[in-house]
Amino acid sequence: MSVALGITRPPLVRTVPVHHPEDLVARLPQVAPYAWVHRGDGLVAWGEAARVAVPPGKGRFEWARRWLATVFDELRVEDEVRVPGSGPVAFGSFTFDPDVAGSVLVVPRVLLGRRGGHAWLTTVGEPPIDLMAPAGTPGRVVYGDGSLSAPQWQHAVARAVTEIRSGRLEKVVLARDLVATGERDIDVRLLLDRLARAYPGCYTFSCAGLVGATPELLVRHTGSAVESLVLAGTTYRGATAAEDRGQAAALFASAKDRHEHACAVASVRQALTPLCAALDIPAEPELLVLPNVQHLASRVRGRLADGASVLDVVAAMHPTAAVGGTPTGVALDVIRELEGMDRGGYAGPVGWIDGRGDGEWGIALRCAQVEGRRARLFAGCGIMGGSDPAAELAEAQAKFRVMRYALEG
């Protein structure tokens, strides 16, 4: 008997080519969805063939890798497509803090994928009959403070600046939460549709109630190739093209933002160097322009030395300085002291892995944890020695707009 799957005989996993779907999200039925979509390509899925709560602790990624190996090894697989994301796939969300429970892995029953001109359908066992229904709106949405009010959070930022100037650390990322409540249950499909349309350059994701559109790719793993998109340093979009250019020029000239970005790139270099036979890191960042903000961005590419799976790379990289701070251990201590909340999956790894060890994982930013009529929204800011609490609060408010748009339209 399969312990992981809870059945006597492992089911058949069958992947077949299908007609190219115009809209992946529109194909989701009225059940809890799983999704990873970028510029129209990606994966959407539903149902649960297997699910596990990953135990907290430093070895959680290794535990997850072993559990997945057990599940995937027991499956009977017929894969007519054989591309990353075909065959058996698991979606996952890991908490930001390794010592906090809440990490989960799910092998869905049905998956629809699209990538590089290919489209495919994967089923585990007999596909369920799922009802299609239009996504409903939550009605009027009201907002309330999360763990800290705006003045309390500004005070936490000021305390973090004091810690940095004392020499205790170089950078810390402080997050803030808001609580949104709708008149009716929040349909995750509606959020996914709005996010994918408004932010096609981001990675729109859904896993176990955590839904969002992150601009930050933690790692893409294809064969021996790995890629990461490092973001740190943020400014607003201007009202005109001239203002946009001025904001971008100021961002590139900002010593605070350039140092913050350098810290984030250094943490990725430190994590990937032991795993890679080759690593390419650009000398200067580029500009990533999103509908609401602009970021300093560096695209890091490498080639793995020993064929590690994507979860091995995730384990080595999380948490990066872009979402934790520098040095990592001290930054995590300061976050626990000052934030006054459990981040849950916010700023943790979220994504998918297939039976070959390939996959894509992002950092869960611009997101919310949805349960019934309630959504808990998150936003974070990199705090440096020169940070101004009022400016950081304004940056967090700008980042909240992503999920507020998804809820309100």
Q: How many residues does the chain have?
A: 409
The answer to the question of residue 3 being in a domain is: no
* 45, 195, 218, 115: CA torsion to nearest 10: 50
- The answer to whether 382 and 192 are in contact (CB under 8 A) is no
Distance from C-alpha of 22 to C-alpha of 62, rounded to nearest angstrom: 37
Residue 342 is predicted with a pLDDT of: 95
The answer to the question of residue 179 being in a domain is: yes
Residue 3 is predicted with a pLDDT of: 44
Tokens (6 digits) for 269 = 């270099």
The stretches in the chain having pLDDT less than 50 are: 1-3, 7
Q: Pairing between strand 217-222 and 50-54?
A: unpaired
The answer to the question of residue 6 being in a domain is: no
User: Could you report how far apart the first and last alpha carbons of the chain are, in Å?
Assistant: 48
Residue 291 is predicted with a pLDDT of: 84
**Total of domains in the chain:** 1
Mapped onto helix, strand or coil, the DSSP state of residue 137 is coil
- Transcribe 233-258 into DSSP letters: EEEEPPSSHHHHHHHHHHHHH-HHHH
Least Cα distance to 263 among 306, 325, 188, 355 occurs for: 325
Residue 2 is predicted with a pLDDT of: 47
The answer to the question of residue 165 being in a domain is: yes
35 lies in which domain range?
12-134+143-408
The answer to the question of residue 7 being in a domain is: no
The answer to the question of residue 231 being in a domain is: yes
Distance from C-alpha of 324 to C-alpha of 318, rounded to nearest angstrom: 9
The answer to the question of residue 111 being in a domain is: yes
The answer to the question of residue 5 being in a domain is: no
Q: pTM higher than 0.95, yes or no?
A: no
Distance from C-alpha of 101 to C-alpha of 21, rounded to nearest angstrom: 37
CATH of the domain at 354: 3.60.120.10
The residues that are catalytic are 171, 216
Residue 305 is predicted with a pLDDT of: 85
